[in-house]
Amino acid sequence: MESSVELLDINKSLGGIRVVRDVSLSIRRGEFFSLLGPSGCGKSTTLRLVAGFEKPDSGRIRINGQPTNGVPAFVRDINLVFQHYALFPHMTVRQNVAFGLEMEKVPRAEIEARVGRMIELVRLGGFEERYPRQLSGGQQQRVALARALVTQPSVVLLDEPLGALDLKLRKEMQFELKNLQRTLGHTFIYVTHDQEEALAMSDRMAVMHQGRVVQVGTPEEVYERPATRFVADFIGEANLLHADVSECLDGAVVVHADGLRLHAETAHCAELPSRIVLGIRPEKVRMGSELNGSRLNRFSGVVENTAYFGAARMVHVRLTPSILVSLRQRNDATETPRAGERVEIGLPVESLVVLQPDA
């Protein structure tokens, strides 16, 4: 598939600190692509480099196949949406949305048609003559989106645009934003530190850590098969087991972790170091009546505590003095363990992921 934005070996230092390190990405045309990571990982700086607000110290950036070296931000075929909407307070919704088209000297009839269509797309029909102060946070965000999209850029850059909204409204806007992107077909590059937001909205995502891209993939790939311990720990919840490699056996590695013997699937057993980290998601851990099948690492442990989360319950089981395993159980499960109870749990061989060490 044709690339919309390409970053090739990008490096950038700010204040003597290297904040973007050897970043290479190829973002496909019409893709919703997220840059995900904690504060300070370099994701917003990467976005600013694409926008042209910063210049890379080394490396190349191409937009729609064209190099951006020496191309100022206002000439690039992009538009931006920020967390703080930067709407013009003295302008109505209609005037805010039309502003970019007026700067481009688009004919008046075309401006009216495109602004009207965009206002309907973001569900602000009837609000055209209101001012930003008369709108809710979600409505102001829709105006900012409409203003960015009405000029029909090929690439839209979004830097934590939903961060100022409350949780319920943010979740509503996630799906509206994704639907809008799918309808219009623009390439979206979306910066966020919210793991659930990236998983819910992205076609693909890049996880960044200490200025580097540590994994690129679909939400399912990144969640189900995290590449590194950082990715497993940062996205969702994970049980992390430190283990010593014992032997390779039929496409699996056999390890020992604090006296426990486990099998985990891997196609690269011979290449592993002597000590590794295994990861498994809480919802993959089985207990009680779910303990069926032959490809299970089965152990006995004691329930330390449980935590209620509405539709699910988290159960924490102590297997050894140093190994505490968390499992997620639906609240309609027939068996509800209590603290102090001894239980049997199973770790499926195919669900244990061998994690690469973090750089």
Classified as helix, coil or strand, 87 is coil
Position 278 pLDDT exceeds 90:
yes
Structure-token pair, residue 125: 């029909």
pLDDT at 109: 95
Q: Which of 37-41, 158-162, 282-286, 325-329 has the lowest mean pLDDT?
A: 158-162
Report the pLDDT averaged over residues 163-179: 83
Q: Say which residues have a Cβ less than 8 Å from residue 309's Cβ, sequence separation at least 6.
A: none
Are 336 and 307 contacting, i.e. CB atoms less than 8 angstroms apart?
A: no
Per-residue pLDDT band for 106 (boundaries 50, 70, 90) equals: very high
Spatial CA neighbour of 50 closest among 37, 39, 63, 38: 63
Total Cβ atoms within 10 A of residue 84: 12
Are 193 and 39 contacting, i.e. CB atoms less than 8 angstroms apart?
A: yes
The DSSP-derived string for 227-291 is SBHHHHHHSS--EEEEEEEEEEETTEEEEEETTEEEEEE-S-GGG--SEEEEEE-GGG-EEGGG-
Q: How far apart are CA 148 and CA 162, in angstroms?
A: 15
Classified as helix, coil or strand, 23 is strand
Report the pLDDT averaged over residues 72-88: 86
Q: How far apart are CA 239 and CA 225, in angstroms?
A: 13
pLDDT at 334: 66
Residue extent(s) of CATH 3.40.50.300 domains in the chain: 3-231
Q: How far apart are CA 327 and CA 237, in angstroms?
A: 10
Give CA torsion, residues 26, 31, 35, 36, to 10 deg: -130
Report the pLDDT averaged over residues 109-124: 92
Domain 237-355 has CATH 3.30.390.50: no
Q: Which of 87-96, 217-226, 303-312 has the lowest mean pLDDT?
A: 303-312
> In the sheet that 296-309 helps form, which strands lie side by side, from edge to edge?
286-287, 342-348, 296-309, 312-320, 323-330
Spatial CA neighbour of 238 closest among 321, 317, 326, 308: 326
User: Which residue shows structure tokens 């090739």?
Assistant: 8
Per-residue pLDDT band for 1 (boundaries 50, 70, 90) equals: low
Q: How far apart are CA 20 and CA 102, in angstroms?
A: 36
Beta strands in 140-182 (DSSP E): 155-159
Position 72 pLDDT exceeds 70:
yes
Are 196 and 162 contacting, i.e. CB atoms less than 8 angstroms apart?
A: no
Q: How far apart are CA 279 and CA 32, in angstroms?
A: 28
Q: How far apart are CA 73 and CA 68, in angstroms?
A: 9
Q: How far apart are CA 332 and CA 198, in angstroms?
A: 29
Per-residue pLDDT band for 354 (boundaries 50, 70, 90) equals: very high
Total Cβ atoms within 10 A of residue 220: 9
Spatial CA neighbour of 32 closest among 159, 144, 155, 164: 155
Are 111 and 95 contacting, i.e. CB atoms less than 8 angstroms apart?
A: no
Spatial CA neighbour of 315 closest among 355, 342, 295, 296: 342
pLDDT digits (tens, 9 = 90+) for 18-62: 999 999 999 999 999 999 999 999 999 999 999 999 999 999 999
Residue extent(s) of CATH 2.40.50.140 domains in the chain: 237-355
- 231 φ, ψ (degrees, to nearest 5): -60, -45
Q: How far apart are CA 278 and CA 76, in angstroms?
A: 44
The domain covering 3-231 belongs, at the CATH homologous superfamily level, to P-loop containing nucleotide triphosphate hydrolases (3.40.50.300)
Q: 174: part of which helix (H) or strand (E)?
A: helix 167-184
